[in-house]
Structure 1
Amino acid sequence: MTVPPPAPTRPRARRRPLPLLLGVGALLLAGTYAGATALFSSRAQTLTRDLTAGLQLSAQASGAAKVEQLSYQRGLTRSTQTMRVTLTDAAAPVNLLVTNEIQHGPLPGFQAAGQAVIHTTVRFEDPKLQAGYERAFPADKPKLLTRIALNGDTTSDLGVPAGTVTEEGTKLTWQALKGQVEVRGLQTRANLTWPGLQMSGPDGSGQVGNVTLTSDLRRSGPEDRLGTGSSTLKLAQVRLGDGSEQVNVQDVAVTAQSALKGEHYDVAMNYDIGRAEGAGQRYGGVQLHLGVGHLAQAPLHRLLVLLDETRKTTGAASAAGGLNALTPEQEKQAGADLLALVKDKPVLTLDRLSLKGEGGEVLLTGSAALPGATALSDSDLKALLEEPTGALGLLDVQANLQGSEAAMRGLLGTFGRGLEDNLDAFIEAGYLKRSGDTLSLALRLNQGEPTLNGQSMADF
């Protein structure tokens, strides 16, 4: 009799490996994650230390704050850093305690892949200031959330909730503020929007409306102290009044631009006001455009590095403090770099200072250069630093003023009726030249020789 083959059965040995592999896999995954988290914990501490050092350097460079790390408690998946930020640019120093709660990668907080997520909170050391802070933000507090990607790029989101506070009869109400800063390698971009605030009280009322800030800056390398790019701050309206007097300013824009052309920097700073009213005067526009051109990159960079290092080692809060702490060797280096900077023919320009009133626009332009500095020696520069008036013989300063007669009279009238009445005398004396309805003035000081409208001042 033939014995039939046994009925096929599922191999039972294959049923257990699945949970076993899952268990081992989970264990390996947990171990790998723990190991990676421990690695990122170390990286996060290093990165946080680097960010803190950068913050300290920036604070020292501004001269408005001082930053010191108080503690860093490192954990496997979470660490805590505490810093004290002292605002020195105030009537009395203000101490802030800044706490960074750091969640480490590679999946910080089990969110997207990255090195770390940092939650930043702030407290005042002064109990009275902290009490005021609590009154202003009784529930939600201002928040800063920073995400650090695997490649080191960072994205920081700032949020300040809306609120209202009343102090000594003055009510202050503000809208929520939002901002973001992105750092991608050597490029930093920032955007901030704020609808504004309103104030009312016994001493008057005020309003700031629709504030925006945009910035796009790029450094050429890690050691670049200046970078290039642009930043723009805009305010739609600023209004202040006490019942009898009102000041209203609209469409304010402040723009900073910097560019590197070859081996030289060009920097521009523009201030524009679309409309200004106050003290019985009304102007359609006010513009101030300043520039500094042909700044030699290498000596300027060395000077900035020297000042930063000196402030860092001495704790000086200002550039003057840093200069006073220079060693003889550093003084020699700074002198050589300053000499190279002024001998490379930098130019300060007043591209326009204009005021548009009911009578028209008055425009002032000008420039200042140091053509006589090309022949300076080290000893000459030292003498000029001790006695700056000696630089008058090296300067070439030009100023040009022009505008319609009605605009000139309107401008002089804002400073007093007497000046407006003397306009005809200025024209007759040759101080102002007339061409049709346009009045102009050209003043120049060229290496110690002053001229007015092309004539020596001695002729007037």
Structure 2
Amino acid sequence: MNRWLLAGLLGLAILVFLMPGIVGMLAERSLDKQLDKNSQLGGTYAVRELDFRRGWFTSAGRHRVPVADQDVARIIATLTPGAGLPAASALIIDTRLEHGLVPLGSAPRSASALIPALATGVSTFSLELPTGNVLPVPGVLYSRIGLTGSATFRFELPAGDETRDGVRLVWQAGDLGLSSNNNGRELSISADLAGLLFNDGVQRLELAQLQMAGNSRATSWGFAIGDVDLELKEAAWLTGDTQNRIKGLDLSATSAIEGSALQGALQLNMLGLDTDDGRYDLEIIANAAGVDAATLGPILRALRYSGSDPRRGAEPYPGFDGDLRRLMSAGVAITIDSLQLRTFEGDGVASLSVTVPKLDETASWPGLLLALEASANIEIDSTRVEAPSPLSEQFRVLVAGGFLVPDGEVYRLQADYAKGKATVNGAPLVIPMDMLR
């Protein structure tokens, strides 16, 4: 009995000693796999490993991520005196991994660190400027690579106040979370920023709170579907004599694949939008259905890699016109169930639907126009139409032309279109079919 107990304890000790090293190799492979996936996003981000030293219980690595977004690079160059080419900017990531099924070195940080995993890590960041200088970036990233290869990241940003060359940036504590499955095709993200202030002496941006949560799943057609919810509270952007403020914004969007067609829905609520022209509340509820995923995928890929070339003119890329007609010919339905605009002078309500049935072959634009069916209904409070405002002249023209007709306390427009024939408030409207040839 004692021999079996001794053998068991000895085997357990060997397992505990060997496991971190084995798991360390698995964690390194999983990390490389995640970096490979992330470096392929948009085809523009190349994550380069500068250094990686794997020990038995811990590993340390340094990676370099170029700032490929030219707008972001331009901001960095603007804030840096004597900066060179902005494309040279990069983010440097230093990571310390503690591997083993139970990485005891992580226990003081969080109780969740005791959950079995391939590895847990802590990363810090620094910014490589175009001048070659390196500046520390506030915040710490905590990561966890699960037993199945899934990954969870949480970025904690402490409150800070930075002033450089007359530009002041103040931010409150923030939290950003990201998790993915073992192949990186399913992602979930959450963000919470308590407050932000940006002031360069010319423009001023204030933000009270921003919260966001979403998830996405990659499809075989080259684009992702999922859900996102965003909430914005108390924001203002001021430029010179122009002042714009908003009390709150709620956005909810979802997309899914049914059969081989993309379906989507959007709901937007904007409260207390104060501009130089007045104060508004806006609500939009919209849906899209029947979009052919196999046709949409190549269009999105081409748009992603097309870049900017003034020689192409209005087309985003060569062949865009034909691809768009092919997409429309496969059938699509777009509806704005409700668009409400509330102002001090009065409210406006509108709804719209556009449907193109599935056609046997790719149609010309006139052919698509003949197949299209659409309807629109608009109601505007008479107080809004008749009140003195910058839009008064436009409203008078619409009323005189019979597009807006009085109906009790509102002015109404009802438009319908089918098979090349249109009516506005019951009266026929001629459609010039040659305009699209």
Question: TM-score, normalized by length of structure 2?
Answer: 0.75
In the alignment, the residues of structure 1 paired with residue 70 and residue 339 of structure 2 have an alpha-carbon distance, to the nearest angstrom, of 29
Q: Which residue of 2 aligns with 1:349?
A: 335
In the alignment, the residues of structure 1 paired with residue 220 and residue 14 of structure 2 have an alpha-carbon distance, to the nearest angstrom, of 39
The 3 A distance-change label for structure 1 pair 339 and 389 is closer
Q: Which residue of 1 aligns with 2:192?
A: 193
Match of 2:26 among 13, 25, 43: 43
Q: Which residue of 2 aligns with 1:87?
A: 68
Contact 1:45 1:74 in 2 (8 A): no
In the alignment, the residues of structure 2 paired with residue 36 and residue 360 of structure 1 have an alpha-carbon distance, to the nearest angstrom, of 70
Q: Which residue of 2 aligns with 1:174?
A: 171
State the secondary structure of the residue aligned to 2:149. coil
Q: Which residue of 2 aligns with 1:56?
A: 39
Q: Which residue of 1 aligns with 2:255?
A: 258
The reply to whether residue 116 of structure 1 matches residue 134 of structure 2 is: no
Aligned residue pair count: 393
Amino acid at match of 2:392: E
Shift of residue 335, structure 1, vs aligned partner: 12
Larger Rg: 1
**Per-residue CA shift, 1:220-251, capped at 9, x if unaligned?**
x8858556542111110112336754321111
In the alignment, the residues of structure 1 paired with residue 307 and residue 203 of structure 2 have an alpha-carbon distance, to the nearest angstrom, of 40
State the secondary structure of the residue aligned to 1:66. coil
The reply to whether residue 208 of structure 1 matches residue 192 of structure 2 is: no
State the secondary structure of the residue aligned to 2:67. strand
Shift of residue 321, structure 1, vs aligned partner: 6.1
The reply to whether residue 294 of structure 1 matches residue 273 of structure 2 is: no
For residues 14-53 of structure 1, what are the structure 2 equivalents within 5 Å? 25=9, 28-29=11-12, 31-53=14-36
The reply to whether residue 399 of structure 1 matches residue 376 of structure 2 is: yes
**Per-residue CA shift, 1:6-62, capped at 9, x if unaligned?**
xxxxxxxx9xx99x959x956x555423432332223212211221222123343xx
The 3 A distance-change label for structure 1 pair 179 and 425 is closer
Amino acid at match of 1:36: M
Query: Percent same amino acid at aligned positions?
Result: 18
For residues 327-406 of structure 1, what are the structure 2 equivalents within 5 Å? 342-371=328-357, 373-377=358-362, 380=363, 384=364, 391-406=368-383
Q: Where in structure 2 are there 5+ consecutive unaligned residues?
A: 75-85, 107-113, 309-319, 432-437
Shift of residue 165, structure 1, vs aligned partner: 1.3
Shift of residue 189, structure 1, vs aligned partner: 3.6
Q: Which residue of 2 aligns with 1:441?
A: 413
In the alignment, the residues of structure 2 paired with residue 428 and residue 256 of structure 1 have an alpha-carbon distance, to the nearest angstrom, of 39
Shift of residue 368, structure 1, vs aligned partner: 2.6
In the alignment, the residues of structure 2 paired with residue 276 and residue 374 of structure 1 have an alpha-carbon distance, to the nearest angstrom, of 43
Amino acid at match of 2:101: P
Match of 2:93 among 95, 98, 102: 98
Q: Where in structure 1 are there 5+ consecutive unaligned residues?
A: 1-13, 312-316, 323-333
Match of 1:429 among 397, 401, 425: 401
Shift of residue 442, structure 1, vs aligned partner: 2.8
State the secondary structure of the residue aligned to 2:209. strand
In the alignment, the residues of structure 2 paired with residue 155 and residue 249 of structure 1 have an alpha-carbon distance, to the nearest angstrom, of 34
Shift of residue 129, structure 1, vs aligned partner: 8.5
**Per-residue CA shift, 1:110-150, capped at 9, x if unaligned?**
4422101132333222255856x44xx5xxx3111111222
For residues 183-332 of structure 1, what are the structure 2 equivalents within 5 Å? 183=180, 188-200=187-199, 202-203=201-202, 205-217=204-216, 219=217, 229-241=226-238, 244-283=241-280, 285-297=281-293, 299=294, 303=298, 307=301, 318-320=304-306
State the secondary structure of the residue aligned to 1:375. coil
Contact 1:228 1:259 in 2 (8 A): yes
Q: Which residue of 2 aligns with 1:5?
A: none
In the alignment, the residues of structure 2 paired with residue 362 and residue 255 of structure 1 have an alpha-carbon distance, to the nearest angstrom, of 22
In the alignment, the residues of structure 1 paired with residue 414 and residue 278 of structure 2 have an alpha-carbon distance, to the nearest angstrom, of 27
Shift of residue 364, structure 1, vs aligned partner: 2.8
The reply to whether residue 457 of structure 1 matches residue 429 of structure 2 is: yes
Q: Which residue of 2 aligns with 1:69?
A: 48
Contact 1:70 1:84 in 2 (8 A): no
The 3 A distance-change label for structure 1 pair 143 and 409 is farther
Contact 1:225 1:301 in 2 (8 A): no
Shift of residue 176, structure 1, vs aligned partner: 1.1
Shift of residue 266, structure 1, vs aligned partner: 1.4
Contact 1:363 1:403 in 2 (8 A): yes
**Aligned alpha-carbon RMSD (Å):** 3.9
